[in-house]
Amino acid sequence: MHEYSLACNIIEHVISVAELNNAKAVNTITIGVGKLTLVNPDQILFCLEALTADTIAQGTEFVLLDIFPDMECECGYSGNSEHLLKDSGRYMNDIMAFLEIPCPTCGKIMHELGGRDLVIQSIDIEQ
């Protein structure tokens, strides 16, 4: 399962950071979720919570943030997809919408930079 292996990597990292810092507990873990990861937020949350059971991170709060990729056009234009999608009135959660955002300058279809990763943005520990 895709979500499970991603969650494993995150929790392994969190626990090693917590141990390195002699943490007593982990309060909050903030994770940036790229809009193109195709990850189900409920599933990833379920895996994260299951993996922290009986670890130093048990009971931690997970904060998942949407990360909108930057878009780039061959004409040199670039911009963030969140604004571009809002401006064009497209449905924000439709993954296909990212693949056909037209360039506001020249009208060509742009390509995305990033947005396919799950990134730990911050780990709040108690020492």
Residues that bind Zn ion (CB under 5 A): 73, 75, 77, 103, 105-106, 108
Q: Measured from the CB of residue 66, what is the shortest distance to Zn ion in angstroms?
A: 25
Tokens of 79: 């911009």
Give the nearer residue to Zn ion in terms of CB position, either 62 or 77: 77
Q: Minimum Å distance from CB 110 to Zn ion?
A: 7
Euclidean distance between CA atoms 101 and 76, whole angstroms: 15
Q: Long-range contacts made by residues 44-47, C-beta under 8 angstroms, separation at least 24? A: 44/3, 44/6, 44/7, 44/118, 46/3, 47/1, 47/3, 47/4, 47/6, 47/7, 47/8
- Please, which residue, 41 or 79, has the CB nearer to Zn ion? 79
In the bound state with Zn ion, the residue whose beta carbon lies nearer, of 6 and 103, is 103
Give the shortest CB-102-to-Zn ion separation in angstroms. 8
